[in-house]
Structure 1
Amino acid sequence: MSLEVAVAAPFKARARDRLGQGEFVVALSLEREWFSPDQAKRLVDVAVGRGLLASEDGDLVPRFDPTEVTVPEGFSPDESILREQSTFESALDAIVAAGVEKQRAVAAINERQRALAVTIEAAAVLYARERGAAVDRLAAEVREELAAEAGDGATVADDVTDDSTVADDADDATDDSGAA
């Protein structure tokens, strides 16, 4: 997958398991000349949305082992990988459109993901619903993904997108942490 190769390259080049976002962007835009700085920032958003990267303490951390990814000689990623909008990004767009500041929304989503031990997409849909954003289509997608991962786990998938159960759980989790 070219997205995974593009994300792995800066980590492999520096032989590190975490990079600042600026360092990541410089590696992709100035050093490799694969993207403009804005496109490299977009790649970060896509990779976070696809679960390939996470933001921890201001650094980007891969959610896979970059050392196991081969960057072919002469490889250059296709710009189409920047056009993919993940479920996470769609939910985040809906949250921002509902009036929540983007950084605050991302922080709250990350907190819900940790507190509830769900996917970033499920956490984003939960937070979007809590904020009154229209995400019914996205909730259905997340429900299907969770059901597929859990086998026949329809109960788990239904719980993740049920406003009354999980939203209350999310509120309880964030009440203790002070986030959101």
Structure 2
Amino acid sequence: MSVRIAVAAPFKHMRKERLQRSEFVFYIAIDRKWMNKEQANQLLERAKSEGLVEMEGGAIRPLFDVAEVSIPLGFKPTSDILVTENPSEDLIGRIAAATGRPAQEIVAELHRVVADHFDGNLRVEAAAVILARKYGVAFEDKLPALERSVVKKR
């Protein structure tokens, strides 16, 4: 959620529907001093990969309603928002925790599901969901991230 807040902040503060890349980076890196220029560009790339912004001809446009985002007083994003999540690994970790087995065993079982039941024609993300259902582990909150992961790999 903090990625959404960090991306919304420049648009809300400048009261613009579109920003130039340089305006966005200036706001994040120079004006607010939240991060350096390189990190501001990484934030922008992450927002693009998560479908939060659209870039066309050097202009950035948010793909969500900026007005609905509330920016907390004193908000300052940490560098953790630059780390992209791996929903498959998160789900494997959940399954391992729920079953009390090491993650390596879950990964091996996942690969067996792909190889034995689907002749290698199944993505890891889908196999992780199958295993989560098998063991009764919640996965619904990870579905949007899993879908984005699959779309990215196409």
Name the TM-score, length of structure 2 as normaliser: 0.56
Report which of the two structures shows the higher radius of gyration computed on alpha carbons. 2
Identity of aligned residues (%): 38
Q: Which runs of structure 1 show a deviation greater than 2 angstroms over 4 or more consecutive aligned residues?
A: 139-145
Aligned residues: 101
Runs of 5+ consecutive residues of structure 2 not aligned to the other structure? 88-119, 130-139
Q: Alpha-carbon deviation of 1:140? A: 4.6
Write the distance in 1 (CA, Å) between the matches of 2:86 and 2:55: 16
Deviations 1:64-103 (A, max 9, x none): 011111111101112101011579xxxxxxxxxxxxxxxx
Q: Which runs of 5+ in 1 are unaligned?
A: 88-135, 150-156, 162-166, 168-180
Number of the residue aligned with 1:70: 70
Distance 1:67 1:142, change over 3 A: farther
Q: Aligned partners of 1:142, 1:57: CA distance in 2, in Å?
A: 35
Aligned to 2:46: 46
CA root-mean-square deviation: 3.0
Task: Kindly indicate whether the alpha-carbon contact (under 8 Å) linking 1:17 and 1:61 is maintained by their aligned counterparts in 2.
Answer: yes
**Equivalences for residues 65-144 of structure 1 within 5 A:** 65-84=65-84, 140-141=124-125
What residue number does 1:24 align with? 24
